[in-house]
Amino acid sequence: MISAVKDSLSFIYFLKGASFLLSNKKLLKYAVFQIIIATILLIIAFFFIFSNGMDWYDSMLGSWITESAAWWLKTFYYILVLPFFLIVVVLSLFIIMILSQVINAPFNTLLSEKVEEVYTGKKFKSPLSFFGQIWHDILYELRKLVFFIILLIIPLPLLLIPFIGSIGYTIISSLILMYTLTFDFLDYPMERDLLDLKHRKVMLFKRPGIWLGYGGLMFLIFLIPLVNVIVWPILITSGTLLYIDKLKIDQDVTEM
Q: Express each pLDDT in 42-98 by its tens digit.
A: 777 777 776 766 666 666 555 555 555 555 556 666 666 667 777 777 667 667 766
pLDDT greater than 60 at residue 256: no
3-state secondary structure of 174: helix
Please give the model's pTM, rounded to 2 decimal places. 0.69
pLDDT at 60: 59
Q: Is residue 227 part of a domain?
A: yes
45-49, 52-56, 100-104, 252-256: least confident range: 252-256
pLDDT range class, residue 190, cuts 50, 70, 90: confident
Q: Is residue 138 part of a domain?
A: yes
Q: What is d(CA 109, CA 97) in angstroms, rounded to the nearest whole number?
A: 15
Q: How far is CA 93 from the centre of its chain?
A: 8
Q: Write out the residue range of the structural domain in which residue 152 sits.
A: 2-51+80-255
Q: Is residue 59 part of a domain?
A: no
Q: In angstroms, what CA-CA distances link 217 with 77, 78, 91, 152?
A: 31, 29, 17, 20
Contacts of 191 (CB under 8 A, 6+ apart): 109, 140
Q: What is the DSSP string of 28-91?
A: GGGTHHHHHHHHHHHHHHHHHHHHHHHHHHHHHHGGG--TTS-HHHHHHHHHTHHHHHHHHHHH
pLDDT at 28: 82
pLDDT at 70: 58
pLDDT range class, residue 250, cuts 50, 70, 90: low
Mean pLDDT of 207-215: 90
3-state secondary structure of 158: helix
Q: Is residue 69 part of a domain?
A: no
Give the tens place of pLDDT for each residue, 110-141: 889 899 999 988 887 666 666 666 676 677 77
Q: Is residue 72 part of a domain?
A: no
pLDDT at 254: 43
pLDDT greater than 50 at residue 215: yes
pLDDT at 241: 94
Average confidence score pLDDT of the chain: 77
Residue, of 183 and 145, whose pLDDT is higher:
183
Q: Is residue 70 part of a domain?
A: no
pLDDT at 188: 84
pLDDT greater than 80 at residue 145: no
pLDDT range class, residue 13, cuts 50, 70, 90: very high
Q: Is residue 181 part of a domain?
A: yes
Q: Is residue 62 part of a domain?
A: no
pLDDT range class, residue 14, cuts 50, 70, 90: very high
Number of domains in the chain: 1
Contact 10, 213 (CB under 8 A): yes
Q: How many residues belong to the chain?
A: 256
